[in-house]
Each structure stands twice: as C-alpha cells, then as structure tokens.
C-alpha cells in the first residue's frame, strides 16, 4: 500500500512538473534552479542548468525517485527493533552495508558530522 501511494504521489508530481515545464518554461526553470540552490548543485561550475535541468520530470527521473523512495521504506528504524542494514559508501567508494562494520558483540556507533 505504501509503495502504491508513493507511486501515485511521484507520478502526479512528475505529470504536473512536466506540464509546467511545457506551459511555463521560464518559471519552471527558476523553480528548478531554486531546488539546485538548496542542494548546492548550482555551486559546481561543471554543472549548468542545460546539463541537469531538463532531466527533471522525465521518465528516468520518475524511476529514480521511485527507487530511492521505495528503498527508504526498508530503511525505517524503529525503537526496540533491529537496525536496518542500510547500504553505505566507504571513503574509497566501495558499497558496503552498515552491519558489515559490526565486530563480535561490540556496539556499533555512528558519528555524523561535517568539517569545513
């Protein structure tokens, strides 16, 4: 049921977005650029709107968003339940799973942070 609701929501947003791109291309471009500001995508000089903007609301976009949202359904962590074995990327670029880092009965501690 959750996947069906996500499919409906994402499909509807793609249809509306694609329609807006056709009817109001300049306004939609400004909206997409605002989204790029939030993700800092537009700060990268190698990316221009022409490279990534038109991919918004495409069929590939729909499939990608569905894949991500459906995968996140599996990653739900509930108190008192086992932790999800979420895929993670190491600093060397290898894809592993979170529980691969468990050692014997030692607790696994995740530390999230950033440095600038």
Residue 68 domain flag? yes
Residue 63 domain flag? yes
Can you name the residues that pair with 88 across neighbouring β-strands? 96
Can you name the residues that pair with 97 across neighbouring β-strands? 87
Mean pLDDT of all residues in the chain? 83
pLDDT tens digit sequence for 23-71: 999 998 888 888 777 777 667 777 777 877 788 889 998 999 898 888 7
Structure tokens, 57: 């609301």
Question: What count of Cα atoms within 13 Å lies in the side-chain half-sphere of residue 24?
Answer: 8
Query: How many domains does one find in the chain?
Result: 1
pLDDT category at 108 given cuts 50, 70, 90 is confident
pTM here is 0.56
Burial profile 22-53: b = 16 or more Cβ within 10 angstroms, e = fewer: eeeeeebeeebeeebeeeebbeeeeeeeeeeb
Residue 88 domain flag? no
Residue 81 domain flag? no
| Pairwise CA distance, residues 36 & 31, whole Å | 9
Which position has the higher pLDDT, 115 or 99?
A: 99
């Amino acid at each position: 049921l959750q996947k069906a609701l996500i499919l409906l929501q994402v499909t509807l947003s793609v249809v509306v977005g694609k329609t807006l791109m056709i009817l109001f291309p300049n306004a939609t471009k400004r909206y997409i650029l605002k989204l790029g500001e939030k993700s800092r995508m537009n700060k990268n000089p190698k990316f221009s709107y022409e490279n990534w903007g038109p991919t918004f609301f495409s069929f590939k976009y729909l499939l990608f968003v569905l894949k991500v949202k459906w995968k996140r359904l599996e990653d739900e962590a509930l108190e008192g339940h086992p932790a999800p074995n979420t895929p993670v990327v190491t600093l060397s670029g290898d894809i592993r799973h979170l529980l691969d880092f468990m050692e014997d009965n030692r607790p696994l501690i995740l530390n999230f942070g950033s440095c600038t």
